[in-house]
Chain A
Amino acid sequence: MDPHPDLTPEVIRGLGWLYLLLAAMNALWTWREVKRHVSAGSIAGWAVFTTLLFLVGVAHVTGGAEPEQFLIRMPEWFKSRVDQLAKPTTYFTGSLLLFVAVIWLREWLVKPTVAWVLLNLAVLFMCLSLTDYDFRQIVGKPDNVPIVSMLFIVGFFTWLYFRRAVDNDQRIAAGRPLFEQEDNDKILVWPDLVYTEMICMIALTAILVVWGVVLQAPLEDPASAVRTPNPSKAPWYFLGLQEMLVYYDPWMAGVVLPSIILVGLMALPYIDFNKKGNGYYTFNERKFSIITFLFGFIPLWIGLIILGTFLRGPNWNFFGIYEFWDVHKLENLNNVNLSELVWVDTLKQPLPVASAGASEWQKILAILLRESVGLVLVAVYLFVLPPLMAMTIFRRFFVRMGFLRYMVFANLVLFMACLPIKMVLRWAFRLKYIVAIPEWFFNI
């Protein structure tokens, strides 16, 4: 069977409505530009763009054309290029670069026109991609629809944050009052807040009902303990954790690291000693905490959920967004342990093992000897780095925080860093475990 059936008339019509929605949004935008009296050239540009979108939308909705002959679609060369480039490495580096770029270019990005162009590009990219069968299979799954919208929503709120933060930072620099301090009288909760809440509830109810009518909740075949689906995925909000399983064993990825995330979140207010930035948006006044939290939330949490949901297919292999989820795709999995790299590759001798009739203690010693380099590295990471950092990069923090607070903080940062570190080690050296003691289920 052809794994890539083409467009159907229903899909084309659905896409048409998306284009029309985008056209309507751009019509409003053009109207805004007219009201703001921007240059005639730019108004004309937006008007032409809106008209084009409208025509494309109408052509889709009324389209009597054969789906095979349909012209507006993602070009094949682009799709194959994207799929070739798609690897965990490129994905993660890409999301890191994006993260750095957003922070770097924040003053430019918060301009409404820039954001609007980016939004247009994102929606157009979605529309064009939806002409691809394999893309539709994954993105169109009912349970995945909320995740796609989450992408847009998180993007929007991050933008909103930077907009208010950049504004406040400029006010602070110029010695003007904060945005939150202007026009901030006390007002009565009835009617102002109560009515907002009521409108909000009505709107949400409407959204939920429409969503429920349009999109049916998924129900697959009855449960069967013998037929394992491939891939077997945890619920979407835990897919970041499932992705960590690629790099760490379940006791780390499924138990220790999630616990650390929670402990870290709860400890946060007691670690952050910076009194500034309480009750208003700012970036410059709390750079370190904002960057750390954003890094954990955007590339590591949301980013890995997206990766786990859309890019991990059968056997948890990595697939490009336009790639067919082929169960037989082979991936080279020749990862090696640090102990093998040290003993076999470097020292050119076999891994140490206890001789046949050895006592319990001799066996334990042999294991410890085998893994000695990894164990030392881990010990250095956890016990030597914190004091070292206290004397160097985190000196200021150590002085302000005191010993206990600083130790908690340093360990949390180290645990947060251990995921990217292991990723890089895996990609650079095919490293499987730093410490590999399967005898005790103790692999790091």
Chain B
Amino acid sequence: MSIGEYIRDSQIWKSIFRHPAPYDRRNRVVVMLTNFFLHLHPVSVKKQGIALSYTWCMGGITFFLFLVETVTGVLLMFYYRPTLEWAYNDILALRDVTTLGIMREIHRWAAHAMVITVWLHMYRVFLTGSYKPPREFNWVVGVLLLVLTLLLSFTGYLLPWDQLAIWAITVGSNMARATPFLGHEGPGAQILNLGGFDLITNASDARFILLGGRFVGENTLNRFYILHCVAIPLVVAGLIAIHFWRVRKDGGISQPL
């Protein structure tokens, strides 16, 4: 009996994997049905539906990059403190002294890559007409995922607290000041006043809510940190679950009728 067979035959192994090795057709079906992770997939698919030149694998790559971001992000959270005193220094130390400081590089490059792959995924879905019935709603879920991916990247951009970070966020969030009705420099904001008292000022408008202040400061760092590490990832994870569920329920990856 070889070592491999011995391990596969042990009680421990069998308690984890409830089926024989997927060497024959029957067990290749069973493995898909009994394994938690694999049951995301159907048992069998159309050959052209999973061809790389058809899907470009971009949805899958986006999902994988999301997982990479989660793992490297959690590791970074052990180290990084989102305060004016420490944020920059912690990133500096990640670069210069910390073992596994490369996590920051991977986290940043994978984030850029994820933005690009999510665009390409949308591009492919459009070009194969996969948003057409019955997949309209999954396209809408996808658009939400696209927005949230951009927001994840945007909120993360601030955390190193260097010049690049705060000015990019300043430029980006200055727009909120001009939101119609809700920004203090937006059209219509002047109408919203009670007896001569302005409701929308630079201390109560959309930008103030986003930044937690009149300019990008300590409150902003805290808000963006929580959005970046907790709030948005949770929503994204939930939407991805719905997205995948719908891919299956809408009949799998689109193919000509």
Binding site for B on A (CB under 8 A): 143, 146, 150, 153-154, 157, 160-161, 164-165, 178-181, 183-194, 196-197, 200-201, 204-205, 208-209, 211-213, 215-225, 227-229, 232-238, 241-242, 249-251, 253-256, 262, 265-266, 268-270, 272, 274-282, 286, 290, 293, 297, 440-442
Contact = CB atoms under 8 A, between A and B. Distances in A.
B106 A208 contact: yes
A441 B166 contact: no
Interface stretch (B173-181, B224-232, B234-242): B173-181
List 6 A-B pairs, minimum CB-CB distance, nearest first.
A254-B175, A212-B105, A269-B136, A250-B178, A279-B254, A251-B178
Contacts of B167: 228-229, 232-233
A189 B48 CA distance: 12
Interface in B136-154: 136, 139-140, 143, 146-147, 150, 153-154
Contact of A200 (B60, B109, B140, B147): B60
Given A184-B48, A190-B38, 19 more contacts: A143-B164, A146-B109, A150-B116, A161-B127, A185-B46, A188-B32, A190-B22, A204-B64, A212-B102, A219-B162, A219-B164, A233-B171, A235-B157, A237-B153, A268-B126, A269-B133, A269-B135, A277-B132, A440-B188
A184 B47 contact: yes
B178 A249 contact: yes
B199 interface: no
Contact of A440 (B65, B102, B190): B190
B106 A253 contact: no
Interface residues of B, number: 98
A258 B162 CA distance: 27
Contact of A188 (B25, B91, B136, B146): B25
Interface string B19-35: 00010010011011000
A180 B256 contact: yes
Contacts of A253: 175
Contacts, number: 257
Nearest to B68: A208
B80 to A, nearest CB: 13
Contacts of B116: 146, 150, 153
B47 A183 contact: yes
Given A196-B50, A278-B130, A181 B175 contact: no
Contacts of A157: 56, 120, 123-124
Contacts of A179: 48
B45 interface: yes
A215 B42 CA distance: 39
Contact of B105 (A180, A196, A211, A255): A211
A225 B112 CA distance: 26
